[in-house]
Structure 1
Amino acid sequence: MAAQLPLRDVHLPPAPSWWPPAPGWWLLAAALLAVAAVVWFWRRRRARRRAAIERVFDQALAAAETPAAQVAAISELLRRAARRRDPQADRLQGEAWLEFLDRDSRRRDFAEGDGRVLLDGAYRREVEPGRVAALRDLARRRFLQWMGAGR
């Protein structure tokens, strides 16, 4: 007679531990960290570039003592930035220059608005500080946009 062997139920192995993760999870974590580092570096570089361009604009206006000199400085800065769009843009005069400044905008702030002071503001003896302040805000946005630092 054969000896009776005790039969036991099938036992499942224990569930795998969550630590250490499988190699695929390590690769995914490394890839996510690399992407986060690149995004952080890119944003930081962009913020520094924007700050440097803003500093150029602000320093040029701070050096101008009178409102007429500020209009001349704004005109010079816009003409510098315009060369990035079109190498011949800094040679435009009068209405053509104002039309060029309004080219990328839906509004006509230079040709019909506060930007008209660019036509003769640098040559006037007296320029209203309020008009220069409005021009400054308008020109700053356009300068930053053309220099590649716009938001």
Structure 2
Amino acid sequence: MAAPLVLRDVHLPAAPSWWPLAPGWWALIAAIAIVSMAAYLWRRRRTRRRREIEQLFDQTLAQAATPAAEVAAISELLRRAARRRDRDADRLQGQQWLEFLDRGSKRQDFAAGSGRLLLDGGYRRQVDAAQAAALREIARRRFLQWMGVR
């Protein structure tokens, strides 16, 4: 006669260990690493570009010998930046140019404020240094905004 079969209880397999990770976790870690690196590089590039644009504005104005030359340099920089908004913007003259500079702003810094110096300040023999400094502040803000760094 055959030996009786010994029945044993069902044994569950051991719980899987957390290491090594399953392939899906490795893919998730790699995706997070790639996204993090891309975000870091994008931010670094943006910061470097902003610094370069700020230096361009500041160095161009530092090379101006007189306040009148500074006003002329500001006008040139703003016209270059305006081409990013509208390709024909650099051809605007007088009040139209000042209104274009104020477009999209709540304040009328150019058409009714110290920005009016752009109309003839580059052609004057003498320009008040305080007026040029006030123009420099609003022009720098507009320049950086149009160049896409603010």
Q: Deviations over 1:46-97 (max 9, x none)?
A: 1111112112111110100111111111001001111222222112111111
Identity among equivalent positions (%) equals 71
What does 1:111-150 align with in structure 2 at a 5 Å threshold?
Answer: 111-149=111-149
Residue 48 of structure 2 aligns to which amino acid in structure 1? R
Cα RMSD over matched residues? 1.8
What does 1:43-82 align with in structure 2 at a 5 Å threshold?
Answer: 43-82=43-82
Q: Which runs of 4+ in 1 moved over 6 A?
A: none
Residue 40 (structure 2) aligns with: 40
**Aligned-partner Cα distance in 1 for 2:128–2:6:** 106
Please give the TM-score of this superposition, normalised by the length of structure 2. 0.89
Is the deviation greater in 45-54 or in 8-17? 8-17
Is the deviation greater in 70-79 or in 102-111? 102-111
**Aligned-partner Cα distance in 1 for 2:80–2:6:** 94
DSSP-derived class of the 2:122 partner: helix
Does 1:21 find its partner at 2:15?
no
**Aligned-partner Cα distance in 2 for 1:88–1:27:** 50
**Aligned-partner Cα distance in 1 for 2:51–2:62:** 16
**Aligned-partner Cα distance in 1 for 2:66–2:22:** 69
**Aligned-partner Cα distance in 1 for 2:104–2:111:** 13
DSSP-derived class of the 1:131 partner: helix
**Aligned-partner Cα distance in 2 for 1:94–1:18:** 72
**Aligned-partner Cα distance in 2 for 1:59–1:80:** 16
Residue 118 of structure 1 aligns to which amino acid in structure 2? L
Does 1:83 find its partner at 2:105?
no
Is the deviation greater in 129-138 or in 97-106? 129-138
Unpaired segments ≥5 residues, structure 1: none
Residue 142 of structure 1 aligns to which amino acid in structure 2? R
Please give the TM-score of this superposition, normalised by the length of structure 1. 0.89
Residue 12 (structure 2) aligns with: 12
Q: Number of matched residues?
A: 150
